[in-house]
A and B are shown apart, each in its own frame.
Chain A
């Protein structure tokens, strides 16, 4: 008998299109890469362990505050008493109402100052009551 079925199947992976695939991936990562953009004022964040992630970047307001009692919101230096009004406006924005306030406060800031900011947030009410103290992840 003859075994003609022993056909030689090509077992190699075709590599001709490999550069194309890799280029596609490359272009994806090039487009997706954001070189750390910095907005706000330089602060040294405190470290903590029990931390949670913020749900996305939309509907989040950032308040930057450093140890010299300077506050920055949306790339502008603001006075403490302006915060409540600013946040109130953000809360009542129809397109993207404020949900969470991320507080990027320097670890050397004084609590008296931090409390004043919180009082302003309480004044604004609504979504501004949800605060998130931005921290680094503490190393064990």
Chain B
């Protein structure tokens, strides 16, 4: 009869077959969004206050950076991207070389970092020998 047919057995359980898939999706979302934030940058050790060392003139290369980001090393105007190879050549001649960076007070920090990056690359894994002069007013 019609009444009997309505007494169907309905499943009262929550379907769990797709649970794993759902958890996987969430897992992947969090995997992708997780950023393990690491601070990175160019390391440098500043000299102690009042610490001055006498350096022989022939061991110093003067590197000047002007306000427009133009670079001059030992009276030669060069591109920033060329610095690495130039400094490497100088280092091959004289491994006691110290580069003295002098910037203008209006030089943008960006150029300074670019120069520093090039010098760091030139030295490779050896200790970088840089001197930072007071900026020109």
Contact = CB atoms under 8 A, between A and B. Distances in A.
Contact of A112 (B31, B33, B110, B135): B135
A134 B39 contact: yes
A49 B46 contact: no
A139 to B, nearest CB: 13
B23 A54 contact: no
A46 B135 contact: no
Contacts of B105: 110-112, 115
Contacts of A15: 20
Contact of A110 (B31, B37, B49, B108): B108
A48 B134 contact: no
Grouping DSSP codes into helix (H, G, I), strand (E, B) and loop, the B interface class, with mixed when no group exceeds half, is: mixed
Which of B19, B33, B39: most chain A Cβ within 10 A? B39
A22 B108 CA distance: 50
Interface string B62-94: 000100000000000000000000000000000
Interface in A90-130: 100, 102-103, 105-112, 114-115, 118, 121-123, 125, 128-130
B48 interface: yes
Interface residues of B, number: 45
Interface of A: 15, 18-19, 22-23, 25-26, 29-30, 32-36, 46-54, 57, 60, 100, 102-103, 105-112, 114-115, 118, 121-123, 125, 128-135, 137-138
13 contacts: A26-B30, A50-B117, A103-B41, A106-B109, A107-B113, A112-B105, A115-B105, A122-B47, A129-B45, A133-B42, A133-B113, A135-B40, A138-B117
